[in-house]
Every structure is written in structure tokens, then in C-alpha cells.
Structure 1
Amino acid sequence: MTLANWMILAAALLPYLAAVVAKAGAAGFDNSAPRAWMEQQGGYRQRADWAQRNHFEAFPPFAAAVILAQMASAPQERIDLLALAFVLLRLAYTGAYLANLATLRSLLFGLGIGCVVWLFLLPL
């Protein structure tokens, strides 16, 4: 299994990491209605939930880009590097989201999408 394939797994788990941050140790967490409870949260918990949602949105194009680049026999070292960069940028994105650093978060988001686009273009 390549590093890029491991990064697909890591990216698939990122939403759940954000969910743990949003819910862990929270007073009054209601597991019978977690979405309704989450909508009442503010601060870093709310931002962690928003990051979770964004991770779910960013994952499909990333996974598709890695798989297609590998199927097209693009250089594996470059695929691995871009996949690793994407996951590291998404971790930093989560940190910026939690810290309420909107401009940095947007920059990190853009760089991550740049990795995805590059992966799609790599076989050319």
C-alpha cells in the first residue's frame, strides 16, 4: 500500500477527529439527538462541527484524485507528496478553524484544494 493510499484513510478519519473535538467532555451532550444538541453549541465546539462537515465535503475529490492519478501511472513519489501535503494542510486547517483564524483557515483550504487539482493534473 502506498503512502497516498494511507493518506486516503487518514483523510477519511479527519471528520471523526473533528467530531470528537466538538463533543468530548461537553456537559449535557445528548446522544439521542446529537445534531440538535450540536446546533446549540458555540465557540470552538461549533467550529469543530463546521470543520467536520467541511472534511466530509473535501474528501471525495481528494480520494478520487489520488486513485485516478495512480491509475494513470503518474509518478508515485509525487502522488505521495501531494497526498501527504493535503492531509497535513487539512490538519492545519482544523487547527485554524478551532482557533477562529478565518483568513489562515481559508488560505489552508485553498492550498489543500490546490493539491487536489494538482493530483488531477499530474498524469498530463
Structure 2
Amino acid sequence: MTIAKWTVLAAFMLPVLTVGLAKAGTIRLGRKNGGYDNNNPREWAGKLTGWHQRAHAAQINGFEGLPLFAAAVIFAQMALADQARIDLLALAYIGIRLVYTALYLADLGSLRTLVWTAGLATNIALLMMAA
């Protein structure tokens, strides 16, 4: 399995880990006091504030970005593009998503948008390799 394929798996796991931060940050509160409610997770998420809410939002954004990244990797590999370059761009995307998530948690919206744009550019570069 190529490095790029492993990064697709990593990209799928990042949102899960991100929302895990939000859940772990509230679990000690207990369900009645605003802690994670596995019986009604959407209602629980709607009541989040601060970095917990931003962690949840980062999770949603992570899942939104997955289809483009996975397709970009698959299309580049199907086109038999240079695997080393595909791997490098795929690893860059994961690094960008980690920085993006940290900026989201830190509430640095403008910088986060610039980093998100870098992730989009990485996906476009992968797609262009398939052209």
C-alpha cells in the first residue's frame, strides 16, 4: 500500500480524533451537566461552546474535505502519475489539516482560512497530476 493510500486513512481518522477532543473535554461533567451524551449526540453538539464547539466544527469540516482528497489521490494514482510526488502531496495535505485543526481550536479564523486554501491547492495539484 502506498504512502498516499495510508494518508487517505489518516484523513478519515483526523475528524474522529478531533471530535474525540470535544467529547473528552466534557465527559467528566456527566451527561446531566453538559457532558457528552451518546444517546443524543447532535443535541449535545448544539450546546457546545468555546474550543469544544470549534473541535466539533473542525470535525465537520474534516469530513467535508475528505471526498475531494480521496478522489484526488485515487485519480492521480489511476493516471499512473509519479508516486513519489503523489505521496509528498498527500503527506503535505495531512500536515496542512493538522495545522488547520490546531488553528481552528485556537480560534484563529483568518490564518485558518489561509491554511485551508493551502489544503485545497494541494488537492488541486493532485488532481492536475491526473490530467
Identify the TM-score tier after normalising by the shorter chain: over 0.9
The percentage of aligned residue pairs carrying the same residue is 51
Ranges in structure 2 where 5+ consecutive residues have no aligned partner:
30-34
Q: Which residue of 1 aligns with 2:80?
A: 73
Runs (4+) off by over 3 Å: none
Q: What SS class does the counterpart of residue 31 from structure 1 fall into?
A: coil
Q: Deviations over 1:65-119 (max 9, x none)?
A: 0001000011001100000000110011000000001111101100000000000
Q: Which moved more, 1:21-30 or 1:33-42?
A: 21-30
- Aligned counterpart, 1:59: 66
> How many angstroms apart in 2 are the aligned matches of 1:25 and 1:65?
34
* Counterpart residue type for residue 46 of structure 1: Q
Question: Which residue does 2:8 correspond to in 1?
Answer: 8
Aligned alpha-carbon RMSD (Å): 0.8
- Select which of 99, 113, 122 maps to 1:106: 113
Residues 33-80 of structure 1: per-residue CA shift (max 9 Å, x gap) = 011011111000000000000000000010000001000011001100
1:24 is paired with a residue of what secondary structure?
helix
SS of the residue aligned with 1:62?
helix
Cα offset, 1:25, TM superposition: 3.6
The answer to whether the 8 A contact 2:22-2:53 is kept is: yes
Q: Which has the larger radius of gyration?
A: 2
Once residues 93 and 120 of structure 1 are traced to their aligned partners in structure 2, the CA distance between those partners, rounded to angstroms, is 21
TM-score (norm 2): 0.92
